[in-house]
Amino acid sequence: MYSLGIYLMALGVRVAALFKEKLRKMVQGHRATWQMLRALGGKDTYVWFHAASLGEFEQGRPLMERLRREHPEKKILLTFFSPSGYEVRKNYDGADLVCYLPFDTPLNARRFVKLARPEAAFFIKYEFWRNYIEVLYKRGIPCYSVSSIFRENQIFFRPYGRGYARCLSRMTHLFVQNETSRRLLEGIGVTNVDVVGDTRFDRVLDIRNAAKPLPLAERFAGCWKVLVAGSSWPQDEEIIIPYFNKHPNLKLVLAPHVVSEEHLQAIERQLTRPALRYSKATPKAVAEADCLIIDCYGLLSSIYRYASMAYVGGGFGVGIHNVPEAAVYGIPVIIGPNNKKFREAQALLRCGGCKEIAGAADFEQLMDAWLSDKEALATAGKAAGTYIADKAGAPPRISSKTLQRKVF
């Protein structure tokens, strides 16, 4: 039934690709994968990392970079399922080959493993493709699950999910995020498990440590109190901008999630204080601006370093975005109510490094408190930074049982 479902999904994607550009890229990408693999000629072997999309890629990245440092002779294969992941990271120079992973049919799985010749495979977080895992198992190729997290309502733990659970027992080792996941797996007889935490914490520390200075942002911030609002949506901006307009003692960096001309103009219409787009910034112009609008991608993780406090968007809609990316700088973070499924946000709320708001009134009260009480602001920021630092360390633990032991 599983493989039949995969065949039907593949057929549905091919039909939908006639009308949707994103799916068309996926279908074309699958064809290109076979061409890339055939071009390898069976000469080399690869350590294979598979990520669904960008989020999973970031969780696997610390391991790929560690492998590159410790075993530079090894070649790395990186695959994606999602077009949004592949299109953004297809030129990632930390891998020797980047491609799509074709649909998990029995034929595709056998063909892919034969052509790619993996020495070991690392599946990141929620990626459990039964046919690929089965082929790896039968060929004696080590297969690991990294940064995975399990919940009681998943199919693996249902009476009718034995076939899905069997693929977990085929994996060489599972490195899970929490004790709950370990207990659930133990309940279905999967005991080759270690609780190591989430590799994302190490990734945000790496990003912070490698962040390059941004002289224009630094000049803009000066000695001011600065709120950096990252990945904001219109619902977030409707709360943030009115407060900013009324508080001349605060500067604002606004990095919208959707960078379109229409959205940028909508933001600018709401502002009553001097604002400037980053793409048009000069040293003189940023010194005169009160609001800096980030109208490009790739800068947010570095810009948080200039913040006194952060607001991470999405909490009034799709769900919050990357909270650790801001908290790693030791600044307190504000989020909206749609945060219950985000474990790190829940932990930061408990330790005081993050605050949840229900609307504009909450936001105003919290910002007033932080702007008037340096000690409260510093305490919340320290709690955020300490939480991230304490949770780091998953990659070395995974490496000690995989890369350093040379099990591939």
Residue 181 sits in the same domain as residue 217: no
Query: Does residue 300 lie in a domain region?
Result: yes
Residues 6+ apart with CB under 8 A from 322: 204, 230, 231, 312
pLDDT tens column, 233-250? 999 999 999 999 999 999
31 burial class (0-12, 13-18, 19+ CB within 10 angstroms)? exposed
Query: Does residue 259 lie in a domain region?
Result: yes
Segments forming the whole domain that contains residue 11: 2-197+393-401
Residue 133 sits in the same domain as residue 264: no
Residue 215 sits in the same domain as residue 258: yes
Residues 294 and 274: their CA atoms lie apart, in Å, by 14
Number of domains in the chain: 2
Share of the chain above pLDDT 70, in %: 99
Residue 258 confidence (pLDDT) above 70: yes
Residue 141 sits in the same domain as residue 278: no
Task: Answer for the pair 28, 100: CB distance below 8 angstroms, yes or no.
Answer: no
Residue 152 sits in the same domain as residue 217: no
Residue 377 sits in the same domain as residue 397: no
Residue 288 sits in the same domain as residue 386: yes
> Residue 392 phi/psi, 5° resolution?
-75, 165
pLDDT tens column, 98-130? 999 999 999 999 999 999 999 999 999 988 999
Residue 106 sits in the same domain as residue 25: yes
Q: Centre a 10 Å sphere on the Cβ of residue 315 and count the other Cβ atoms it contains.
A: 25
Band (pLDDT 50/70/90 cuts) for residue 404 is low
Residues 26 and 40: their CA atoms lie apart, in Å, by 21
Band (pLDDT 50/70/90 cuts) for residue 408 is very low
326 burial class (0-12, 13-18, 19+ CB within 10 angstroms)? buried
Give me the numbers of helices (H) and strands (E) for the chain, helices first please: 19, 14
Residue 262 sits in the same domain as residue 191: no
- pLDDT score of 43: 84
The CATH number covering residue 73 comes to 3.40.50.11720
- pLDDT score of 405: 56
Residues 53 and 83: their CA atoms lie apart, in Å, by 8
Beta-strand ranges (E) seen in 84-221 are 97-100, 118-124, 143-148, 173-176, 193-195
pLDDT tens column, 182-223? 999 999 999 999 999 999 899 999 989 988 899 999 999 999
67 burial class (0-12, 13-18, 19+ CB within 10 angstroms)? buried
pTM summary value: 0.79
- On average, the pLDDT of the chain sits at 93
